[in-house]
Amino acid sequence: MDNHELEIAVKRFSEGDGQYFDIIYDETKTHVYYTILCIVKNPADAEDLMQDTYLKMVESLPRYRGQNAFRGWLTTIARNLSLNALKRRRRELPTAPEESVLQFEQTQATQEESSVLHELLDVLSDDEKQVVIRHVVLEHKHKDIAKDMKKPLGTITWMYQNALKKMRKKAGEDDA
């Protein structure tokens, strides 16, 4: 679905046709999920924040004027909610030792299930992860990534190439 068709679905949803929510969700869910995951680095938190993002989208839709691409607007909501959640999480400390042990066990299980891709992505900065995931997984063009991230196209292509070099180096170290 191109941006124009998505804008039509958004307009129809904002006019009260609820069936268009599913279309909007299906078209944006992968992008929103990976945007959040790049920030919070926890799949369970990312899923919760996805729900919050779509609730905030519905709540804020009357203020959406269509001047910007909808995906970019929705990504901004996801990014802001994720950054706020990350700040809250950093301020909070576990209250009981049992919680720390439980969190450690969950993290350890998650790490055991993670793929080689996750290990390779760990060597990248947050911006590099976002560029790689958006380009490779979400198949976004570098110019669209540059626009959404408010960076020059040359910077995005450099970040992508640099990220690939880092990932190749990490893969080479693991093979040795």
Q: Confidence class of residue 67 from pLDDT cuts 50, 70 and 90?
A: low
Least confident of 46-50, 94-98, 128-132: 94-98
Place of tokens 């049992």: 98
* CA proximity to 156, closest of 147, 166, 169, 167: 147
Provide mean pLDDT across the span 34-46.
87
Provide mean pLDDT across the span 17-28.
91
Q: Would the pLDDT of 81 be above 90?
A: yes
CATH class (in words) of the domain with range 1-92: mainly alpha
Q: What are 126-173's pLDDT values in tens digits? A: 888 888 888 887 778 888 888 888 889 888 889 889 888 888 887 776
Provide mean pLDDT across the span 51-73.
86
CA distance 22 to 132: 27
Q: Would the pLDDT of 94 be above 80?
A: no
Mean per-residue pLDDT over the chain, rounded: 80
Between 2 and 70, name the one with better pLDDT: 70
How much of the chain exceeds pLDDT 70, in percent?
A: 80
**CATH 1.10.10.10 intervals, the chain:** 115-176
Q: Would the pLDDT of 79 be above 50?
A: yes
Q: What are 97-135's pLDDT values in tens digits? A: 445 555 554 444 444 444 566 677 778 888 888 888 888
**CATH 1.10.1740.10 intervals, the chain:** 1-92
Least confident of 9-13, 22-26, 92-96, 104-108: 104-108
Q: Is 130 exposed, middle or buried (0-12, 13-18, 19+ CB in 10 A)?
A: buried
What CATH code would you report for 115-176? 1.10.10.10
